[in-house]
Amino acid sequence: MDLIIGAGVSGLSYAGFTSNDYMIIERDSEIGGYCRTIKRGDFVWDYSGHFFHFRFPEIKERVCKYIDINSLLRVKKKTQILYNQQYIDFPFQKNIHQLPKSEFIDCLYDLFNSGDDGTYTSFKDMIIKKYGNSIAEKFLIPYNEKLYACDLDLLDVNSMGRFFPKADKYDIISNFKCADNRSYNDYFDYPIGGAIEYVNSLMHYVDSTRLSLNEEVLQIDVHEKMVHTNKRDIKYDNLISTMPFPKLLSKCNFDFNEETFTSNKVLVLNLGFDSKGRDIQNSWVYIPNRECIFYRVGYYDNIMKTDKMSLYVEIGIPSSLKMESYASYLERVMADLKKCGIVDHQKLIDYEMVLMDPAYVHINKASVEAVKSFKKELSSLDIYSIGRYGSWTYCSIEDNIKEAFELSMLL
């Protein structure tokens, strides 16, 4: 029997794919993991912005099969950067010509005098050498420091993989006259009922009688192949875990260096207002200004074409930082939204806050090597760790589904 820990997208996908007998245990009282939705009054908010960017038609067909086609929106992504009260098209490095002339010249000069020798020691070193000090300091460094809530020298050069919008000097110059800001996710799909509709669709492939909620793993005996939970002891043949990788190692009583696996927390404030704001086009906006507490603001109302401003606001927080009261964050966020001009006369009529911990993992050479080594050892014990946090990586939800499928074919 395959025992699956976690009823998020990865766990449910594996259950739906496998031909083996299985059981799913989920610590929380509902399915979905971080891919859950809050529906209240006029507002639909996800735990955070979850917009599926399908690259594989067969995965899209499977995930969307049980979603009413009339409720599934196909959205042309529009994103900008709010830089010094001016909107610049994303990505910043390809749109420096939209800056004031003096700043544009600084960026262009530094771009061509960056001393890029093709060797990089960290993510921070890479962006400075590839794009020059001005582009790095105006956007790439402050934004990503707010996102990851850490020194960027701690991150690997390829920590963001394909999700980092790379551009060479030719791309940047060409964009001055002929704009081409395409990225890996120019369009995305979104159900009007929120991201939970994807999870509900995936649940159609799962036998609900094999799912146990409110069941938490306390300890894993890797030699006896036994999981001890708050409810019972469960014998397994294969263990498929989607819990954060260091937590799995701890439950298995493995000896490891906790400092190898670092991450941040993200506090998401979902805010509902009584009327529309002035931005009626952007899907989300990036905020590099260090004086502003949040790094990104998303517009559910622009995505779903509703008549009341509905935002998700994201704040990166170091994992070691003791959280202030939620009320203090709300007060600061509202003040910063007004300073940015995102909110002026609108009245906040409802809100919900969600803490994601872990949120973004810090990928570096040590963490990559540790995951690879421990995964090899775990697989020899018939334990398989999958998903974004199970693999301690940066990936899309579609990547998680693909990984679950590949494992189901292997087992």
The enclosing domain of 202 has a CATH number of 3.40.50.720
238 sits in which H/E element: strand 238-241
Same domain, 232 and 105: no
String of DSSP letters for 119-143 = --SSHHHHHHHHHHHHHIIIIIHHH
Same domain, 97 and 144: yes
The enclosing domain of 342 has a CATH number of 3.90.660.20
Q: Is residue 163 part of a domain?
A: yes
Q: Is residue 82 part of a domain?
A: no
String of DSSP letters for 148-208 = HTS-GGGS-TTTTGGGS----HHHHHHTTTS-----TTSEEEEETT-THHHHHHHHTTS-G
Largest CA distance in the chain: 68
Same domain, 372 and 248: yes
Gap between the Cα atoms of 376 and 337, Å rounded? 47
Same domain, 373 and 242: yes
Last residue of a domain, one of 117, 148, 174: 174
Contact 81, 285 (CB under 8 A): yes
Same domain, 285 and 331: yes
CA distances from 101 to 27, 134, 150, 357, 364 (A): 55, 13, 32, 41, 37
CA distances from 44 to 54, 174, 258, 278, 377 (A): 22, 40, 37, 20, 43
The reported pLDDT for the residue numbered 125 is: 95
Last residue of a domain, one of 334, 356, 378: 356
Last residue of a domain, one of 339, 356, 373: 356
Q: Is residue 186 part of a domain?
A: no
Same domain, 276 and 217: no
Same domain, 381 and 351: no
Contact 93, 173 (CB under 8 A): no
Same domain, 277 and 352: yes
Same domain, 335 and 377: no
Structural domain harbouring 56: 2-35+51-75+191-260+362-410
List of residues 6+ apart from 287 with CB closer than 8 A: 81, 82, 143, 146, 294, 295, 296, 297, 340
> pLDDT (tens digit, 0 to 9) for every residue of the chain, 411 residues total?
999 999 999 999 999 999 999 999 999 999 999 999 999 999 999 998 777 778 889 999 999 999 999 999 999 999 999 999 999 999 999 999 999 999 999 999 999 998 888 899 999 999 999 999 999 999 999 999 999 999 999 999 988 887 787 777 888 888 887 766 555 567 888 999 999 999 999 999 999 999 999 999 999 999 999 999 999 999 999 999 999 999 999 999 999 999 999 999 999 999 999 999 999 999 999 999 999 999 999 999 999 999 999 999 999 999 998 887 788 899 999 999 999 999 999 999 999 999 999 999 999 999 999 999 999 999 999 999 999 999 999 998 999 999 999 999 999
- Specify the number of domains making up the chain: 3
- Three-state secondary structure readout of 39-87: EECCEEEECCCCCECCCCHHHHHHHHCCCCHHHEEEEECCEEEEECCEE
Same domain, 310 and 243: no
Q: Is residue 112 part of a domain?
A: yes
Same domain, 97 and 130: yes
Same domain, 287 and 141: no
Q: Is residue 40 part of a domain?
A: no
The reported pLDDT for the residue numbered 185 is: 64
The count of other CB atoms within 10 Å of the CB of residue 74 is 8
Q: Is residue 180 part of a domain?
A: no
CA 374 from centroid of its chain's CA atoms: 24
Gap between the Cα atoms of 47 and 63, Å rounded? 19
